[in-house]
Structure 1
Amino acid sequence: MISRLSLLPMLALCVLAAPAVAADDDKVPYWASIDADVANMRVGPGGSYKIDWVYRRLHLPVKIIRREGPWRQIEDPDGDKGWMRDLLLSRQRTAIVIGKELIEMHADGNDSSAMLWRLEPGVVGLLGECAEGWCTFDVDGHKGFVNEANLWGAGEP
């Protein structure tokens, strides 16, 4: 029969050997995107807080700046901040075209490659890899390369 005193060291070893929470999941800021057709942003981290904004833009990129339980404090492309449930968000990287002018989407990651399309400010697309100032960008199946400086949601958050 094992005595209770001999169980204490084994219990302590089990606690010390428990896996740590993945550090990457806790690091903020990070990029995310809205993953719902309708997503409410609240003034605080809870369902009882007032709704400040209602987003109706699937894949809109947001920056996660704080975590509190299942709630994420986000910043949108216009700089507005508030709280949103994690269930409404995805880690899928997206970006939005910024500026006031049309921008060019190219066949390759350089200005001398063929221009495929012109994109308006506010266009949202799936963001791929970025290298040497150019990012792969997919807007409803129209794929190409866009200068990283023209995208909000690219680069480090």
Structure 2
Amino acid sequence: MRKSLLTAALVALLPVTLIAEERGPVTNLPMPRFVSMKTTEGYVRRGPSRTHRIDWIFKHPGIPLEITAEHGHWRRVRDRDGMGGWMHYSLLSGSRTVLIETDLLELRRSPLPDAPVVAQLELGVVARVRECAGTWCELAVQGYKGWAPKSHLWGVGADETID
């Protein structure tokens, strides 16, 4: 009897201490997750097939998108503003990019608030992610490389590490 009470007590603690990461049913990759648009034009449809109506056309290659669902060869995506729908997976890339959310964001030589400034990035610029650790990400954009705080970027999770 004591063993079953102890087991029940441990099981009751599991949801608090172990949080299961949701995985996509098709790819078994984490959900939600960020990707980027591979092509210069990407049709966003109302549902997961070519017979569904096109609601949006994304026209910025490399723009970060968040995958929120999977169905066969289709991924439900949303952009920074929450707009989106279903896109064919062939239009998406695993290459990571971010959208700059602060005007004249200072890109720094190292991940320190007082490190020398390498460049200033305008609001809405898309940058390639090279690495993320802690609260900083190393970015590359138009020949410049440097570090920026995650809190000023859209396209990377607050607790996400990228090597």
Say whether the fold is shared (TM-score over 0.5). yes
- TM-score range for the pair, normalised by the shorter chain length: 0.7 to 0.9
Counterpart code for 1:51: I
1:150 to 152, 155, 162: 152
TM-score when scaled to structure 1?
0.80
Give me the whole-angstrom Cα distance separating, in 2, the residues matched to 1:90 and 1:103: 26
Counterpart code for 2:127: G
TM-score when scaled to structure 2?
0.77
Counterpart code for 2:70: R
Output aligned runs, 1:66-105, within 5 Å: 66-99=69-102, 101-105=103-107
Could you list the runs of 5+ residues in structure 2 that have no partner in the other structure?
Answer: 1-23
2:27 to 25, 28, 31: 25
Partner residue, 1:7: none
Q: CA deviation at 1:26?
A: 2.0
Output aligned runs, 1:6-155, within 5 Å: 25-27=27-29, 28-99=31-102, 101-155=103-157
Greater Cα radius of gyration, structure 1 or 2? 1
Q: CA deviation at 1:49?
A: 1.1
Give me the whole-angstrom Cα distance separating, in 2, the residues matched to 1:40 and 1:63: 15
Give me the whole-angstrom Cα distance separating, in 2, the residues matched to 1:24 and 1:125: 28
Give me the whole-angstrom Cα distance separating, in 2, the residues matched to 1:51 and 1:89: 17
Give me the whole-angstrom Cα distance separating, in 1, the residues matched to 2:84 and 2:139: 26
Q: CA deviation at 1:23?
A: 8.2
Could you list the runs of 5+ residues in structure 1 that have no partner in the other structure?
Answer: 1-21
The total of aligned residue pairs comes to 135
Give me the whole-angstrom Cα distance separating, in 2, the residues matched to 1:24 and 1:42: 19
- Say what the alpha-carbon RMSD is for the aligned residues: 1.9
Give me the whole-angstrom Cα distance separating, in 1, the residues matched to 2:154 and 2:138: 14
Q: Percent of aligned pairs with the same residue?
A: 33
